Chains A and B, each alone.
Chain A
Amino acid sequence: MRGIVHHITEELRNTARELLASGRISAFLGFREGDHPMTVAPFAARTAEEVELLIFNSFCVLNSANTIPELLRDLTPPAKRGEPPNEPPMIGVIATGCWSRNIVVQIQEHQVPRDKLVIVGVASRGMVDRRKVLAKLPNSDVYSVEEQDHLLLVRGRGYEVEIPRWEVVRDNCRSCSHPEAVDFDLWIGPKTGPRSIDAPFQELEEIEGLGAAGRWEWFSNEFSRCIRCYACRNACPLCYCPTCFVDDSRPQWVGKSADFSDTATFHLLRAYHCAGRCTDCGACESVCPMDIPLRKLTKKLYKAVKERFGFEPGLSSGATLPLSTFSSEDREEFILRPGGPGQEER
Chain B
Amino acid sequence: MEISCAHDPGQDKILSSPASNPYLPVRCRVEDIVVESEDGNLKTFRLSIQDQEARSRWNHVPGQFAMLSLLGAGEVPIGIASSPLEEGLMFTVNRAGVVTTALHRLSPGDELGVRGPLGNGFPVDTEMVGKNVVIIAGGFAFTTLRATLLYLLEYRERYGEIIVIYGARTPGMLLYRKELEEWAGRDDLSLHVTIDREGPGWDGLVGFVPTIAGQVAPSPDNSVALICGPPIMIKFTMPPLEEIGWRDEQVYLSLENRMKCGLGVCGHCNCGPVYVCKDGPVFKRSEVQRLPVEY
Query: CA separation between A250 and B96, bound complex, in Å?
Result: 11
A251 to chain B, nearest CB (A): 9
Query: CA separation between A277 and B195, bound complex, in Å?
Result: 54
Which residues B75-115 have CB closer than 8 A to chain A?
97-98
Residues of A whose CB lies within 8 Å of any CB of B are 249-250, 252
B183-211 CB contact bits vs A (8 Å, 1 = yes)?
00000000000000000000000000000
Closest residue of chain B to A250, judged by CB? B98
Closest residue of chain B to A251, judged by CB? B98
Q: A252 contacts which chain B residues (CB < 8 A)?
A: 98
Q: A250 contacts which chain B residues (CB < 8 A)?
A: 97-98
Closest residue of chain A to B101, judged by CB? A250
- What 5 A-B pairs are tightest by C-beta distance, nearest first? A249-B98, A250-B98, A249-B97, A252-B98, A250-B97
Q: A249 contacts which chain B residues (CB < 8 A)?
A: 97-98
Query: CA separation between A265 and B97, bound complex, in Å?
Result: 24
Q: B98 contacts which chain A residues (CB < 8 A)?
A: 249-250, 252
B208 to chain A, nearest CB (A): 20
Q: Tell me how many residues of B have a C-beta within 8 Å of chain A.
A: 2
Q: B97 contacts which chain A residues (CB < 8 A)?
A: 249-250
Which residues B245-282 have CB closer than 8 A to chain A?
none
Closest residue of chain B to A249, judged by CB? B98
Query: 5 A-B Cβ contacts within 8 A?
Result: A249-B97, A249-B98, A250-B97, A250-B98, A252-B98
Query: CA separation between A249 and B98, bound complex, in Å?
Result: 7
A15 to chain B, nearest CB (A): 41
Query: CA separation between A167 and B258, bound complex, in Å?
Result: 49
Closest residue of chain A to B74, judged by CB? A249
Query: CA separation between A6 and B98, bound complex, in Å?
Result: 55
Query: CA separation between A252 and B98, bound complex, in Å?
Result: 10
Query: CA separation between A183 and B97, bound complex, in Å?
Result: 45
Query: CA separation between A255 and B175, bound complex, in Å?
Result: 37
B2-34 CB contact bits vs A (8 Å, 1 = yes)?
000000000000000000000000000000000
Query: CA separation between A30 and B97, bound complex, in Å?
Result: 40
Closest residue of chain A to B97, judged by CB? A249
Query: CA separation between A249 and B100, bound complex, in Å?
Result: 13
Query: CA separation between A196 and B29, bound complex, in Å?
Result: 72
Query: CA separation between A250 and B98, bound complex, in Å?
Result: 7
A255 to chain B, nearest CB (A): 13
Closest residue of chain A to B99, judged by CB? A249
B210-243 CB contact bits vs A (8 Å, 1 = yes)?
0000000000000000000000000000000000
A312 to chain B, nearest CB (A): 41
Query: CA separation between A252 and B102, bound complex, in Å?
Result: 14
Closest residue of chain B to A252, judged by CB? B98
B103 to chain A, nearest CB (A): 15
Query: CA separation between A249 and B97, bound complex, in Å?
Result: 9
Query: CA separation between A252 and B97, bound complex, in Å?
Result: 12
B268 to chain A, nearest CB (A): 14
Query: CA separation between A302 and B135, bound complex, in Å?
Result: 64
A28 to chain B, nearest CB (A): 33
